[in-house]
Amino acid sequence: MKITTYVIPNTAESVAIITLEEDKPKNNEPKSSIRAIYADEDGAIIKKNIITQRYTKDPKMTLFNMKIVDYEHYNKIVYFEVPAWNENNAIYAFSIPPDNNYENVSEKYITDGSLTFITMTHFLYNSNRDGEIIVKRGVIKEDGELFYGEYRVSSKGKTICELNTDVEDWKVYMPCKS
């Protein structure tokens, strides 16, 4: 097994979240997992697979070749992607438990696309966009052409709007196309 991506949620604590992939898969369904490595209260190092591969016919439910793409420090949420469709990945998230109890950690499907960035509006006085993510997504338009755009998506996976990326500083203001 090889480590493909990782995140260290808090450098003051001995915790790492890593993705593992089988080095030389014996079949076309390689083993893949997300593992937490942490020290328990006695100081022993614990390695626990918290999410493992799952192969299904539904691209939204299949987990393989998992890659951590971002970590939101304020709410302690890890975002990861898996290949799903020809033009888009599937984006998932899970929360880091405050007590290192990884027994009940489970992934939540958010949306299709590739994570561009996470909004950080919880630092602002009037925060109505907290937890939203910005996603680059391939969409087939009415004329049959594939178009890639940036979309604002809620933490529950609802697409809010396509962003107007022609506006200067669109990443700051996040204006929706009319």
How do residues 139-155 score in pLDDT, each as one tens digit?
888 898 999 999 999 98
91 closest CA partner among 140, 136, 149: 136
pTM for this prediction:
0.87
Cα gap 150→165, rounded to integer Å: 7
At 106-124, the pLDDT tens digits run: 999 999 999 998 886 555 5
Provide mean pLDDT across the span 42-53.
91
- Residue of 26 and 115 predicted with greater confidence: 115
CA distance 48 to 33: 10
What's the pLDDT score for residue 56?
A: 86
9 or 79: which leads in pLDDT = 79
Rounded Cα distance between 100 and 118, Å, is 24
